[in-house]
């Protein structure tokens, strides 16, 4: 029964496996999964799902089967249904508690996330955008307060934050850039795995001796094969021949 509930997360899981996915596209899938789980969170849906499941097969009893004494073979016995009825009620209550617990945990996990305007979190995104987060701290703090007044106690998704900041991007230019970059940057597990795999393709001795900036450039060139293949080797050699210094900096 829980397998039927958890299968609702499969579309979001498959979306995050794609190399072409970005956070804005994935967010639509996540919100659809959230809405579907909220719809399932009622007693009628639980009873419908329970009716499709054979609980006796799914939960085998550990109790020893009761055998009648041979001395009672000559008597007419009536088996009480009270015990069976009580056991069924207890099993149904247990399944219902588990059902709601799984739904609540899943919905909460999909809704919760790190604070986007946390300066420590934005620092890495700022390095990518060439934005000094500490210099923009006053703007980011003001934008955070502005959005809290705009949305109140309601938790806003990142796409809603971007749409709101778009109308005030002159006032919160850096905050708008952060939100736009966070929604468009590749975030799938396949993209992250490809980045680490590309980094490991570089020879270890060179990787240990070169500066971080040069290593970063080599990783980008190795990762973006289409850009590298579009470069004319003849033109590259011609420009290198015309250069005054023919040395290559390898560190």
Q: Which two tokens stand for residue 154?
A: 């309601």
Q: Which two tokens stand for residue 215?
A: 């290593």
Query: Is-contact 100 50, C-beta < 8 A?
Result: no
pTM (whole model) above 0.75:
no
Query: Is-contact 93 86, C-beta < 8 A?
Result: no
Mapping DSSP onto H, E and C, the string for 146-187 reads HHHHHHCCCCCCHHHHHHHHHCCCCCCHHHHHHHHHHHHCEC
In degrees, rounded to 5, the angle at the alpha carbon of residue 218 between the alpha carbons of residues 25 and 187 is 15
C-alpha 251/C-alpha 249 separation (Å) is: 6
251 residues of the chain, pLDDT tens digit each: 667 777 777 777 777 776 666 666 677 777 788 888 888 888 888 888 777 765 544 445 556 666 667 776 666 655 554 444 445 667 777 888 888 888 888 777 776 555 677 788 788 788 878 888 888 889 988 988 898 888 887 667 777 888 888 888 889 988 888 888 877 776 655 566 655 565 555 555 555 666 767 766 776 666 666 667 777 888 888 888 887 776 766 65
C-alpha 39/C-alpha 8 separation (Å) is: 12
Q: b/e map of 31-42 (b: 16 or more CB within 10 Å)? A: eebbeebeebee
């Amino acid at each position: 029964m829980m397998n039927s509930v958890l299968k609702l997360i499969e579309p979001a899981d498959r979306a995050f496996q794609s190399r072409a996915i970005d956070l804005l596209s994935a967010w639509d899938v996540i919100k659809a999964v959230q809405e579907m789980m909220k719809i399932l969170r009622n007693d009628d849906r639980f009873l419908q799902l329970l009716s499709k499941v054979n609980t006796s097969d799914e939960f085998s009893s550990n109790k020893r089967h009761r055998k009648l004494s041979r001395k009672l073979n000559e008597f007419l016995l009536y088996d009480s249904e009270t015990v069976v009825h009580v056991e069924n009620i207890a099993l149904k209550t247990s399944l219902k508690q588990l059902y709601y617990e799984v739904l609540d945990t899943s919905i909460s996990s999909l809704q919760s996330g790190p604070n986007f305007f946390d300066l420590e979190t934005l620092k890495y995104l700022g390095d990518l955008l060439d934005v000094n987060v500490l210099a923009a701290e006053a703007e980011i703090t003001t934008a955070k307060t502005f959005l809290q007044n705009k949305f109140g106690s309601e938790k806003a998704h990142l796409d809603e934050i971007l749409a709101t900041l778009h109308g005030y991007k002159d006032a919160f230019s850096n905050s708008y850039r952060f939100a736009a970059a966070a929604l468009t940057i590749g975030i799938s597990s396949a993209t992250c795995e490809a980045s680490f795999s590309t980094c490991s393709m570089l020879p270890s001795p060179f990787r240990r001796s070169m500066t971080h900036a040069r290593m970063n450039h080599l990783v980008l060139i190795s990762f973006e094969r289409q850009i590298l293949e579009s470069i004319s080797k003849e033109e590259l050699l011609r420009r290198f021949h015309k250069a005054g210094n023919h040395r290559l900096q390898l560190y």
